[in-house]
Each structure stands twice: as C-alpha cells, then as structure tokens.
Amino acid sequence: MEIIPSKKMSLYKPAIFSELKRFATKQQQENGMEIIDLSLGSPDMPPHEILREHLSKLSLLPSSYGYTLSASNQFKEAVARYYKRVNEVDLDPYTEVIQTIGSQEGLVHLPVAFCDPGDIVLTTNPSYVAYDAGIKLAGATSYYIPLDAQRGFVPNLNAIPEEIAKKAKLLIINMPGNPVPATPSLEYFSEVVNFAKKFNIIVLHDAAYSEFYFTGERPITFLAAPGAKEVGMEINSLSKSFSLAGTRVAYIVGNAEMIKVFAQLKSNLDFGIFDPIQSTAALALDHAEEITEDLRFTFSERHRVLTKGLVDLGWDVAPSTGGMFVWAKYPYEIDSVTFAYKAIEQVGVIMVPGTEFGTEGEGYVRLALVQPVELLEKALKKLRSISI
C-alpha cells in the first residue's frame, strides 16, 4: 500500500529535540561521554507530595474512570480563586475559564476556532514552536514580530505595518517567554490592549512560566491590564509551575465569548481530562503559594549560577527576571545548529539551537534550567573547553 501524507504534513518537520538526543546517545555509547541535557523544558523535580498522594488516592476509586467531557466546577472554581489570590483578577469560573489538555493542546487548537485560511496571526520570532503549529493547522499565515535585544526582547507593536495589523486576527505573546524570558509590564500590556482594540485583534497571552520569577515580584498577568478581558485571554499551565507536565492539565481564562467559541470546538475534539488529574490540579492551585516557593527558589538559584557562569565564559546572556530558560549568544562565528551539534560532540552538553525557535535565534542557544546546580557547574566547565 502506498501511504501518502496530506499536503499539510509538508508543513510539519520533525522537532530537533529527538535528533539532538539521538546524536548525544550515540556519543555516549561510542565514546563513553557523559551527557548533560539542557534541552527539553520538562521540570526535573517531582510534584509536591500532597499532589501525588491525592492523585493516587483518587485513582484507586472505581468511580474515577468515566469521561469527564470538560472541566469540573471544582477545577474552574480553583482557577478563579487562584487568579483572585495571586493576581487580584476576578474571573467568573463558569464562563471565563476553560480547561485544556496541557497548554500545548490549547495553543495548537485555538487558532482553528478563530482563523480562516489567509488570516494573519501575529507572533514573535523567536517564539515557542506550538504557536506556529496551531497557525498552520488553521491554515492561517504567521507574521513574525522580531524580538530585539535592544528592546529587552519585548515585541514592538509599533513596528508592525498597518496593512498587516488590519488583516491580523490573533496576536500570541509570551512573557516571561520561551525561549526568551522577557519581563512583562502593565504599561506594555496596556499598549497591547489598545493595539488589539484599534485593529480588532484577539490577544492570547501565554503565561506558562508565571510562577518562576527571580526578583520577589510576580510577573504581571495580561488580565490585569485595563480592558484586557474585552480583547483576549491568557493561557496558563500546571506543567511547569507545579511540576505536573506529564498529567497534561492547563487552562485558558478571559473573554467569555471567546471561551464559548473555543469550548464549542473542543466539544468536538476531546472528552476531557481524567477526573483525579482535574482534582489534583485544583488542589495544586489552592496550595500554590506553599508548593511553588521551593520550585521558584531552585530555578532562581540555577538561573543565577548558569547566567554568571556563561557571562564569565564571554557569552552574552539575555537579562531576565523569570522563566525556565537561559537565552544566550555564544562567542563563536558559527551557526546555531552546527554549534549545538559540536557542543554535544566535543563536551556532551545538549542545548537547543536558537534557530529552532525562528530565524532571529541565529547565534543563540537555549539552555533549560532542568539540572541541579552541581550539574550546571559541570556543564559550564565542559563548555569552557569547547574549541571552534
């Protein structure tokens, strides 16, 4: 039988993560090289014990295994309480909250609900890869706002040509971001609201790293900007903030009408998340302050060590006050994909080439803070001995 993928499949290339990993495993097997993996942003610490206990207890109940279809009221109310407590934002849990199967699922499906082929979606270069995946699924066209080091990597809305803004349907932004951990401000988000109103553009702010901040000051939520709920939504996840990546639970909050449209699409796509996971997520949100403090401290310490070490090596590190990554320009005249493979071959450190996130990532690599400080120090020692 001849298997012919759809034309659309030509838009989806294999992700580089598994290629890098395969190459590293080969080095390990052939040369006995120790590998330090700083590529995937998957939290290395386990979820808090109360969450693991709760999940296992509920998983034993025979009644836990039916379709849930959508979010439980318990989950939606916990999201609303969490936003009120930590962000001072009021949400109607029944109309302004929707659950997604990890934020990845929300990100790739949301453009389908709002964009037609030919519509423009504004996103950034570099940006998290799922945005493009969703835009392609909807048949829409990406317009990339370059992230400029001079502006602290904050997307410059004024640089978007008016004819592009007029055709745009959706704007996706992400702060603190992946791969670039820029810091959001109320002034900036207010500018985003005004821009969205002027051009009738739906805004989606990805706040996946909202609990990882290093300054004592929580990154502001998009919904705190006056008028934000009129123009958009925020997507947030329990994957990073609560080390629950494998349970696949996240949510979108904001404009009730937009959420209703997305709920209609989702009712055709999936049957909801395992009830014990929903309940564990609600418990996590209700105990966010206790649970996230240790994780925040750990990531903050790792960020400090890795940033200082790279700067000492002569790398140019993007300043950041939060997130889970270090975005750094290496001091060699070599493209980022070749550099990433050389780093594995010569010293066994896996980093993601900046161009994986867009052309503006050339000359950069992304390092995930997913190893303990001792291993980060070891990785820095190894990186010192790279010869290009």
Ligand X SMILES: Cc1ncc(COP(=O)(O)O)c(C=O)c1O
Cβ-in-10-Å burial (0-12, 13-18, 19+) of 61 comes to: exposed
Nearest approach, Cβ of residue 29 and ligand X (Å) = 28
Rg, the chain, Cα only: 21
Site for ligand X in 30-69 (CB under 6 A): 41
CB closer to ligand X out of 103 and 278 = 103
Helix ranges (DSSP H) in 46-101: 49-59, 73-87
Residues 230-289 that bind ligand X (CB under 6 A): 237, 239, 245, 250
172 Cβ partners below 8 Å, 6+ apart? 107, 121, 122, 123, 124, 127, 131, 204, 205, 206
**Binding ligand X by CB under 6 A: which of 128, 199, 327, 364?**
128
Q: How far is the CB of 30 from ligand X (least distance, A)?
A: 30
- Smallest separation (angstroms) from ligand X to the CB of 323: 9
Residues 87 and 219: their CA atoms lie apart, in Å, by 9
CB count in 10 Å sphere of residue 123: 25
Interface segment toward ligand X; rule CB under 6 A; list 53-61, 100-108, 184-192, 336-344:
100-108
Q: Which of residues 136-195 bind ligand X (CB under 6 A)?
A: 174, 178
Taking CB under 6 A as the binding criterion, the range among 73-81, 101-109, 260-268, 306-314 that sits at the site for ligand X is 101-109
- Residue 206 interacting with ligand X (CB under 6 A): yes
For strands 250-254 and 141-146, give the pairing: unpaired
Judged by CB under 6 A, the stretch of 4-12, 97-105, 214-222, 261-269 that binds ligand X is 97-105
The region of 47-55, 96-104, 110-118, 146-154 touching ligand X under the rule CB under 6 A is 96-104
Question: What contacts 111, CB < 8 A, 6 or more positions away?
Answer: 121, 134, 135, 137, 138, 140, 170
Should residue 208 be labelled a site residue for ligand X when binding is judged by CB under 6 A?
yes
Q: How many C-alpha atoms does 174 have within 13 Å on its Cβ side? A: 28
Interface residues with ligand X (CB under 6 A)? Answer: 41, 102-104, 128, 174, 178, 206, 208, 237, 239, 245, 250
